[in-house]
Amino acid sequence: MPQIQLIPASAEGALDAAEEAVDLLLDTGRAPGDILVLTTGDPHPWAAHELSFGEAAYWALHDAGDDVFYADAAQAERAAGRPVVVFAANGGAAGATAAALPTALARAGALLIVCGDPQQINSVLGTGV
């Protein structure tokens, strides 16, 4: 079972909190290819940019595994597991967090970092984190 770390953040601030978490992971020696970032609302700007070149090119970057990969949480099942998953609960459809969080947990090898509303997160995971 991966360790779960919760970073309290509003839906508006969740993506920024996730970015800070990624920076900290990289600064402490985590390899970029170890990190998967999932978003429930608006895509991360990197994902939006890379998707503009088409799905095939975008997922090829995922498969290469050389860098931090950013994906829509709804597509988490398509993403391979990585040692660290950073989950940004940055809005989206009602229930998006509840639907995607269990998959995010399953994809995280060692650590799941969740950026979002603690009450919402704890009710989904059923634990106090």
For position 123, what pLDDT does the model report? Answer: 87
pLDDT at residue 52, rounded to an integer: 96
Residue with tokens 């994902």: 47
Q: Is 92 left (phi over 0), alpha (psi -120 to 50) or beta?
A: left
pTM of the model: 0.95
Tens place of pLDDT for every residue, the chain, 129 residues? 899 999 999 999 999 999 999 999 999 999 999 999 999 999 999 999 999 999 999 999 999 999 999 999 999 999 999 999 999 999 998 889 999 999 999 999 999 999 999 988 988 887 555
CA dist., res. 98 & res. 121, Å (int): 8
23 DSSP assignment: H
**pLDDT at 125 (0 to 100):** 83
